[in-house]
C-alpha cells in the first residue's frame, strides 16, 4: 500500500476517500465552502484537545504562545511569507476586518473593491466606512475580462490621495476567477495605494508564494484547500504596516506588538492551530502539485458534463483564468437563482433531491452553479449531478 501513516491513518492515493469522514451517500462537490478535514488531522486536534482538557491551567499557562508561533512559522514558510510579518487569524474575513480597523479611515477616505469580492468582506468594508465616515466604491469587472483588462479597470478606478485601500481577490469566491493579483498590486503601488489581497482560496490550491504578490496585506484560509482544521488562516503584513495592526479585541499580549497581539485571544480554542501542520503534512504526503493537477482536471470535467446536460456550449462557460484552479462556474437558466434567497432555496433542493452539495450563487442578476474538485471526488459524482439537475431546475422554475 502506497502512502504514509499519519496520526494512525494511512494517507495515500489508493485509499483517498477513506482518509476523510465524509458521508459516502453524498456527493461533496463544494469543497471551497468549508473544506473537509482529513481524519489524520481530526485526530491530531483531538489529541491537543485531550491535553487541554486534562489540565487547562498547564495548557494555557505553559508554552502555548510559543507553540502557536511554531505553527505560524510552519504555515508562513509553506506560503512563502515572512513568519515575523504574519499572524494566525480565524479566517480571511477576520483578517480583512483587522486591516480595515487598523487603517484609521477618516471622512473623505475611500475603500475600493470589485464586484467579484466576497460578501462578508464587503459587509466589513461597509461597516468600517459607516463608522469612520469614509466611503466605499465598487468596480465592475466583466466575468470574461482578460488579465490586462482587469488591471486596466483597476488602474483607471484608483483615486490617488483619496483611495486609502484597494481590496482585491486573488481567486474570487462567487465567480471562481483567478485575478492577476501581482500585476494589480504593482499598478496600485505606482499610485501609492495600499492593497489588501483576499486570498481565501489560495493556500493549497495555488502554488504562487505570498511574497511574489507583494501586497501590503494578504490573508488566506488554510482550512479550505490545505487540509487544516477550520478556523485557520494567515494574515501577512508588509513591514511598514506591522506596528499599526491592531486586534479586534484587546487581550493580554497587546503590548508585545504584532503578531502576538493579534493571535492571542485569551481562552479561545487554539487546538485547530496546533494541528494545522498535520494538514500540510497530509498535503505534502499526497503531493501538492499532483493534488492541484488532479483537482483542476476533475472540476473541468464536472463543468463540461453539467453544462452539456443544461444544453450549454463550451463557449458559454466561464474560464477560471489560470491553471490549477479547482473551482468552475456553470451558468444556470435565465431567471433561476438570481437572488440570494432563490440561490439558497435551489441549493437545498439539489441537496435534498440529488444528495449533492454544490454552491449556488446569484451574481450580477444571474444564477450560477459553482463546482469544486477535490481528491475525494470521482467523475461519476458529476455525472449523477448532470443527470438529475435538469429535473430539479424544472421543479424549481
Residue carrying the nine cell digits 467579484: 116
Strand, helix or coil at 176?
A: coil
DSSP state of 131: H
Please say whether the beta carbons of 100 and 126 come within 8 A.
no
For 217, other C-beta atoms within 10 Å of its C-beta total: 24
Question: What confidence tens digit (pLDDT) does each residue in 34-74 have?
Answer: 999 999 999 999 999 999 999 999 999 989 999 999 999 99
Nearest-CA neighbor of 332 among 306, 351, 305, 296? Answer: 306
Q: What is the pTM of this model?
A: 0.95
pLDDT score, position 1: 46
Strand, helix or coil at 360?
A: strand
Q: What percent of the chain has pLDDT over 90?
A: 91
Confidence grade of residue 2 (pLDDT, cut at 50, 70, 90): low
The mean pLDDT of 169-179, rounded to a whole number, is: 96
Q: Round the average pLDDT of the chain to a whole number and report it.
A: 95
Q: What is the DSSP string of 226-277?
A: S-PPTT-EEEEE-GGGGGG---SS--TTGGG-TTHHHH--TTS--HHHHHHH
The mean pLDDT of 240-251, rounded to a whole number, is: 95
d(CA 92, CA 197): 10
Which domains are seen in the chain, by residue range? 4-36+287-396 (3.90.1150.10), 46-280 (3.40.640.10)
The mean pLDDT of 272-296, rounded to a whole number, is: 96
Amino acid at each position: 500500500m502506497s502512502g504514509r501513516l499519519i496520526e494512525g491513518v494511512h494517507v495515500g492515493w489508493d485509499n483517498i476517500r477513506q482518509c476523510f469522514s465524509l458521508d459516502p451517500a453524498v456527493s461533496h462537490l463544494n469543497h471551497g465552502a468549508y473544506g473537509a478535514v482529513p481524519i489524520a488531522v481530526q485526530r491530531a486536534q483531538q489529541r491537543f484537545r485531550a491535553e487541554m482538557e486534562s489540565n487547562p491551567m498547564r495548557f494555557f499557562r505553559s508554552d502555548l504562545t510559543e507553540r502557536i508561533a511554531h505553527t505560524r512559522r510552519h504555515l508562513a514558510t509553506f506560503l512563502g511569507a515572512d513568519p515575523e510579518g504574519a499572524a494566525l487569524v480565524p479566517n480571511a474575513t477576520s483578517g480583512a476586518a483587522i486591516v480595515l480597523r487598523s487603517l484609521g479611515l477618516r471622512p473623505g477616505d475611500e475603500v475600493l473593491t470589485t464586484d467579484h469580492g466576497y460578501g462578508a468582506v464587503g459587509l466589513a468594508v461597509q461597516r468600517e466606512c459607516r463608522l469612520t465616515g469614509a466611503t466605499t466604491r465598487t468596480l465592475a469587472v466583466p466575468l470574461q475580462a482578460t488579465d490586462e483588462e482587469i488591471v486596466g479597470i483597476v488602474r483607471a478606478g484608483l483615486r490617488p490621495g483619496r483611495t486609502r485601500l484597494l481590496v482585491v481577490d486573488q481567486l474570487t469566491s462567487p465567480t471562481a476567477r483567478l485575478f492577476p493579483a501581482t500585476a494589480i498590486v504593482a499598478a496600485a503601488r505606482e499610485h501609492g495605494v495600499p492593497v489588501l489581497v483576499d486570498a481565501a482560496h489560495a493556500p493549497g490550491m495555488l502554488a504562487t508564494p505570498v511574497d511574489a504578490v507583494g501586497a501590503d496585506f494578504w490573508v488566506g484560509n488554510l482550512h479550505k484547500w490545505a487540509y487544516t482544521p477550520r478556523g485557520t488562516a494567515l494574515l501577512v503584513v508588509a513591514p511598514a504596516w506591522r506596528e499599526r495592526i491592531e486586534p479586534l479585541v484587546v487581550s493580554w499580549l497587546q503590548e508585545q506588538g504584532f503578531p502576538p497581539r493579534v493571535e492571542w485571544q485569551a481562552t479561545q480554542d487554539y487546538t485547530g492551530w496546533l494541528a494545522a501542520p498535520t494538514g500540510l503534512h497530509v498535503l505534502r504526503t499526497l503531493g501538492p502539485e499532483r493534488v492541484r493537477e488532479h483537482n483542476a482536471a476533475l472540476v473541468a470535467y464536472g463543468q463540461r458534463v453539467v453544462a452539456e446536460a443544461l444544453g450549454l456550449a463550451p463557449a458559454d462557460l466561464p474560464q477560471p483564468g489560470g491553471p490549477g484552479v479547482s473551482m468552475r462556474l456553470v451558468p444556470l437558466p435565465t431567471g433561476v437563482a438570481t437572488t440570494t434567497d432563490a440561490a439558497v432555496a435551489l441549493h437545498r433542493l439539489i441537496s435534498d433531491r440529488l444528495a449533492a452539495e454544490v454552491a449556488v450563487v446569484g451574481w450580477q442578476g444571474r444564477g450560477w452553479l459553482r463546482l469544486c474538485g477535490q481528491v475525494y471526488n470521482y467523475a461519476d459524482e458529476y455525472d449523477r449531478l448532470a443527470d438529475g439537475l435538469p429535473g430539479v431546475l424544472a421543479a424549481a422554475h
